[in-house]
Amino acid sequence: MLEGKGVRAVTVMWVMAFLSFVMVPLRLYTRIYVNRAVGLDDHVFTLAWVFLFLYTIFVTIAGHHGFGQPLDSLPVDEAVNAVYNEIVGQTFAVLGMAIAKISLGIFLLRIVVKKWHRISIWISMVSLALVSVMTAILLWAQKSPIRATYDPRVQGRLVVAITPFSILLGSWCAAVDFYFALLPWIFIWQLNMRFAEKISIACSLSLGFIACVCGIIRTIDLSGLGSANYTEDTVGLIIWSAVELAVTLICVGVPTIRPLYRAIVHGSRPESSDRRYVKHSESDHSARFRMRAIIPDASLFTTVRDGTTESYIAPDDRSGNQILPGHDPCPSDGIRVREEVRVERV
């Protein structure tokens, strides 16, 4: 029966799973019907939520076997089942957190321009994936034989202490959250647009600061991993892991549904995008790329590739300042304008 602290933990986890699930259909709807472009980051985002869902299911099963109650108060078979299912759930949580942050990294790769931005994002994603997979493996391989990890009746020896690796993962997750939240303020500030729009877009892309705080709190609760009273002392860790994963999904999902919000609030008729944007080249000298919309009542997004300027005019964005392209920035009902770049030293 679900009793003790397990009731609170399971309740919080299902609430977090539901709140984050709201972002899944909203994001897919925005990508399919508003942006008309579904990318790899959308599939990775959905996969991360599936891992959160599986995490919640296995912890719920563990709760019915005694998770949240003192370990010495449980029958041996129930205690073994509780610890086993809890570790299975933690495996999905460890991998799910990395997958959610990788989803944001892939999204950022689609909108950054400078080479060092892309390299730093790739380093963050690959390193986080390696640490996450390593921690997930050590959850099961910390003792030999593996069954000794969750069954006290099996004699085994300690292979490696899991707590230091869990602290490393928690710290690295928080660091990646912080960097991914900080990066938009760097490259968005180089765009020539109204100050209020810069703040709005940068803030929507920087909600990861909230996930960073959750990750720090979760890391502090990692002491329960080495406790003899595993089923009760890990409740805080289980809750904050679910909160961090759910908050990460919500923070990652909010910027991607911004076009849907603008379409609902402002309607489908776009305003004129007769504006100029300035981007900086990857060299030490700045290069100014000027592109003027020649079609009224359309929104403009400009990218620079191989010495040419490619502008994508999307008829369904009212803002005139869309800077977040989909996987194929030029929708089927949009117009692509392509012209040579004129470089001016400034």
Domain boundaries, the chain: 5-263, 268-346
Q: What is the pLDDT of residue 193?
A: 66
Output the pTM of the full model.
0.74
The residue type found at 307 is: G
Mean pLDDT for the stretch of residues 184-189: 80
- Per the CB < 8 A criterion, the answer to whether 135 and 95 are in contact is no
Alpha-carbon distance of 329 to 138, in angstroms, equals 42
Alpha helix stretches (DSSP H) within the chain: 5-21, 23-29, 40-65, 76-109, 115-141, 162-188, 195-205, 208-220, 230-233, 235-256, 258-266
Mean pLDDT for the stretch of residues 300-323: 39
- Per the CB < 8 A criterion, the answer to whether 98 and 126 are in contact is no
What would the two tokens of residue 195 be?
A: 């100050």
Share of the chain above pLDDT 70, in %: 74
| Top-ranked range on mean pLDDT: pick from 77-86, 178-187, 305-314 | 77-86
Q: Which CATH class is domain 5-263?
A: mainly alpha
pLDDT, averaged across the chain: 77
- Per the CB < 8 A criterion, the answer to whether 275 and 322 are in contact is no
Least confident of 68-82, 210-224, 238-252: 210-224
Q: What is the pLDDT of residue 64?
A: 92
Q: What is the pLDDT of residue 308?
A: 39
Asked if the model's pLDDT at residue 275 lies above 70, the reply is no
**Three-state secondary-structure class, residue 300:** strand
> Of residues 306 and 237, which shows the higher confidence score?
237
Asked if the model's pLDDT at residue 229 lies above 60, the reply is yes
118: Cβ contacts below 8 Å, ≥ 6 apart: 109, 112
Torsion angle (degrees, nearest 10) of CA 165, 166, 172, 177: 170
Asked if the model's pLDDT at residue 20 lies above 90, the reply is yes
